Amino acid sequence: MEQMRISVLDQSPISEGCTGADALRNTLDLARLADQLGFTRYWVAEHHGTPTLASASPEVMIAAIGSITRRIRVGSGGVMLPYYSPLKVAETFSILSALFPDRVDLGVGRAPGADRFTASALLRDRRQPAPDPDDFPQQLGELLGYVENRTPPGHPFARLAALPGRPYAPDVWLLGSSAESAVWAAENGLPYVFADFINPEGAAHAAVYRDRFCVSGTLAEPRTMVAGWAICAETDEEAQRVASSARMTRTLLNDGQLVPVPPIETALRILAEREPSSRPHRTIIGSPSAVKKGIEELASLYGAQEVMIVTITFAHGARRRSYELIAEAFGLS
């Protein structure tokens, strides 16, 4: 049986008392560590207009991460395609692929990565109140035409598929947390990543993806990855304590409040004063053996060959240690 692959999704969390610049430097530090520890890939997210997360430009961070790592794949988790020209995205990731051959992933998604106010500020044409989700399949098709050099000869933009980074090209993944994304990934023959940390009810969607998968020029069979939320420490008790900062951040986010990641003592005090959130949210928290078991169960639930771990802590050292313990538990090298 093929060994399960473990990867990292980094949202560049901003801790209370720190700056966005601090968070971005922490991302570079964690990427170096992940490369040394044997994780398969390191993806950076796209979020806008929030004091909680600093990763607003995945392509910039990919260039920086690629230049300081040796073997780990680097990519976007993901580029929010409705904001952008498919050609511009294709050209950017073509160049990244030329700079870091056979190491670049282009994860694309439809979600706004922001509230509606911020989403409107990101638009070039503000006559529309928000990105139009209805043309995403067409955007995706155009993007794949450029990246995979298969734009039909009669297409008005066919000659633009001669991207600057040829012969190198990124691996394209479709990200999602809904039924529609599973269908789009299947119909286009793309590898699929489901965001379980956003929607823990995605196993059925992953099954739909496998059932409806169409063989493509780049993928012969379904390839599923699941992104889950996990925090590991030496003991279950310490892991729960460290995780309180992320739990409080998530609780306030559910109430529409965006704050930097709080210190543990602040988080414990505020969580004790609030009603537990009723929104479903899967968490994998504990000692190395407990987290390993939880990650394996998550992979089995989704029929996934790879699990991508999202970890938010107040102290950067605690986040580093969490990934070290996970790498040790899975015997990565």
Architecture of domain 5-229+291-330: Alpha-Beta Barrel (3.20)
Q: For residues 51 and 11, give the distance between their C-alpha atoms in angstroms, rounded to a whole number.
A: 12
pLDDT of residue 61: 98
**128 contacts: CB under 8 Å, gap ≥ 6:** none
Burial class (CB in 10 A: 0-12, 13-18, 19+), 276: exposed
Residue pair 44/27 in contact by the 8 Å Cβ criterion: yes
What DSSP letter does each residue of 155-212 carry, written as one string? STTGGGGS-TTTT--PEEEEEESSHHHHHHHHHTT--EEEETTT-TT-HHHHHHHHHH
Q: For residues 228 and 281, give the distance between their C-alpha atoms in angstroms, rounded to a whole number.
A: 10
The gap from C-alpha 239 to its chain's centroid, in whole angstroms, comes to: 22
Given CA atoms 215, 104, 130, 277 in this order, what sign does their dihedral have? positive
- Only one residue has tokens 């190198």, namely 168
H-helix segments, the chain: 20-37, 58-68, 86-99, 116-122, 136-147, 179-187, 203-212, 236-254, 264-273, 288-302, 316-330
Tens digit of pLDDT at every position of the chain (333 positions):
567 899 999 999 999 999 999 999 999 999 999 999 999 999 999 999 999 999 999 999 999 999 999 999 999 999 999 889 999 999 999 999 999 999 999 999 987 666 777 777 777 666 665 555 568 999 999 999 999 988 766 777 777 778 999 999 999 999 999 999 999 999 999 999 999 999 999 999 999 999 999 999 999 999 999 999 999 999 999 999 999 999 999 888 877 788 999 999 999 999 888 766 666 689 999 999 999 999 999 999 999 999 999 999 999 999 999 999 999 999 998
The gap from C-alpha 277 to its chain's centroid, in whole angstroms, comes to: 24
Closest CA to 231 of 329, 314, 312: 312
- Only one residue has tokens 């793309």, namely 190
Tokens of 230: 């996990």
**280 contacts: CB under 8 Å, gap ≥ 6:** 200, 201
- Domain spans of the chain? 5-229+291-330
Q: For residues 123 and 299, give the distance between their C-alpha atoms in angstroms, rounded to a whole number.
A: 37
Query: Residue 282, SS3?
Result: coil
Cα angle 29, 194, 277; round to 5 = 85
pTM of the model: 0.94
**8 contacts: CB under 8 Å, gap ≥ 6:** 30, 31, 34, 39, 41, 42, 43, 308, 309, 323
Q: For residues 323 and 326, give the distance between their C-alpha atoms in angstroms, rounded to a whole number.
A: 5
Cα angle 121, 62, 12; round to 5 = 65
